[in-house]
Amino acid sequence: MQLLGLHHITAIASDPKVNHDFYTRVLGLRFVKRSVNQDDPGTYHLYYGDEVGAPGTALTFFPWQGMRRGRSGNGQAIATAFSIAAGSLAYWQQRLTRLGIATTPLPARFGDDVLAFTDPDGLTLELIATNQPDPRVPAPSADVPREHGLRGFHSTTLAVVDAAATADLLTTVMGYRRVATAGNRTRYTVAAGAPGSAVDLVVDPALPRGLSGAGTVHHIAFRVADDAQQLVAHAALEERAVGVSPIIDRAYFKSIYYREPSGVLFEIATDQPGFAIDESVATLGTRLSLPPRLEPQRAEIEAALPSLD
């Protein structure tokens, strides 16, 4: 299969307004889609990203009011890293500190500086100031100057108990290549190491088993260019007896799902058609977007959802 890197990452939150304020105002991402959880239309599905929510930039949330916190640990994506310009780490450290958000500078990782912090639900985020070329343009933001903006995903870190099994799936079926190891962390990339393609595997026997809940990642989605490439991926996973779902039309992309050997839920999603299929780029996120089958219930659904403004 030909994966192009990370497509989106979906995590669990509690209060949707707090989540919305943090990702749009504090981090300066664009709110690109206001939709509902297709399996639970009484709750939101919120999407943040660059100006259009391009694949590789979209962080999405299922915010469930009152959701208890999960526990970060093995079998989970334990950190979500965004790419920022090499000179922008000091800006972010000052900005987050000024806003009362605790930051932790981490030791350089494969030559890049890393700043870690958590979102209001405890989700671990990292900003990686990288010298590697990254032509992706941050979303326009009234709060964050564009030169310091988040350019999209840098990498995800998976905590695995059986690194060999996960690495085998990544390298033999998914086309990833091992590029570097430092300590207990090994980095894999695809698509010639394109920005937003890295998956780091971390082995830490001291970590507990992860528990799903607010502040944890729900799944990691990888990009394929089109429907044909998704069929290739589906066939390759079936041949490997990985237990892959049928193809599901998510309106903004088509998806297949499977669980990697350490328990992290993976998805492979198409680049097309993208978030501008049901509203214009200029107005993305301003209106509740519903799949056609839920349109007849729009009034009830809108009345039940809390305000984000």
Q: What CA–CA distances, in Å, run from 17 to 23, 272, 307? A: 10, 29, 7
State the minimum distance, in angstroms, from the CB of residue 130 to Zn ion: 25
Specify the DSSP class assigned to residue 71.
B
Q: Are 112 and 133 in contact (CB under 8 A)?
A: no
Residue 202 neighbours by CB distance under 10 Å: 17
With H, G, I as helix, E, B as strand and everything else as coil, classify residue 103. coil
Nearer to Zn ion, 221 or 233 (CB): 221
Q: Are 276 and 229 in contact (CB under 8 A)?
A: no
State the minimum distance, in angstroms, from the CB of residue 167 to Zn ion: 23
State the minimum distance, in angstroms, from the CB of residue 269 to Zn ion: 6
Distance CA 93, CA 48 (A): 21
Nearer to Zn ion, 10 or 83 (CB): 10
Binding segment toward Zn ion, per CB under 5 A, in 79-87, 95-103, 262-270, 281-289:
262-270
257: β partners: 267
What mask, x for binding Zn ion by CB under 5 A, covers residues 215 to 254?
Answer: ------x---------------------------------
Binding segment toward Zn ion, per CB under 5 A, in 6-14, 98-106, 115-123, 137-145:
6-14
State the minimum distance, in angstroms, from the CB of residue 47 to Zn ion: 10
Q: Which two tokens stand for residue 38?
A: 């297709």
**Number of residues engaging Zn ion in binding (CB under 5 A):** 3
Q: Is 275 in the site for Zn ion (CB under 5 A)?
A: no
Binding segment toward Zn ion, per CB under 5 A, in 99-107, 146-154, 195-203, 266-274:
266-274
Distance CA 281, CA 127 (A): 26
Among 6, 9, 10, 198, binds Zn ion (CB under 5 A): 10
Nearer to Zn ion, 39 or 295 (CB): 39
Distance CA 296, CA 291 (A): 10
Q: Which two tokens stand for residue 119?
A: 């979102």
Distance CA 245, CA 15 (A): 30
State the minimum distance, in angstroms, from the CB of residue 8 to Zn ion: 6
- Contact residues toward Zn ion (CB under 5 A) are 10, 221, 267
